[in-house]
Amino acid sequence: LAFTAVILGGVFQVLFGLMGFGRYITLVPYPVISGFMSGIGGIILILQVAPFLGLEAKSKVV
């Protein structure tokens, strides 16, 4: 399942690049991109706290 998601993500990225969709990213405000990236970073940090402390991590969190 993960392999398929990675391959599909790569295919979509290449197709969007070839079709020129990259120019539309300039229409997205910086605070939106910054908030999105900060949210992803926060989720990753929260999910890594338990393994860092040596506790058993939940396998079905996401």
- What are the residue boundaries of the structural domains of the chain, listed by start? 2-52
The confidence score (pLDDT) of residue 54 equals: 86
Banded pLDDT at 60 (limits 50, 70, 90): low
Q: 58 vs 46, which has greater pLDDT?
A: 46
Q: What is the largest CA-CA distance in the chain?
A: 46
- 56-59 LR contacts (CB < 8 Å, sep 24+): none
Question: Please, are residues 47 and 61 in contact by the beta-carbon 8 Å criterion?
Answer: yes
Question: Please, are residues 47 and 40 in contact by the beta-carbon 8 Å criterion?
Answer: no
Per-residue pLDDT tens over the stretch 12-51: 999 999 999 989 888 999 999 999 999 999 999 998 888 8
The confidence score (pLDDT) of residue 3 equals: 94
- Best CA proximity match to 61, nearest among 52, 39, 49: 49
Which of these ranges, 5-9, 33-37, 58-62, has the smallest mean pLDDT? 58-62
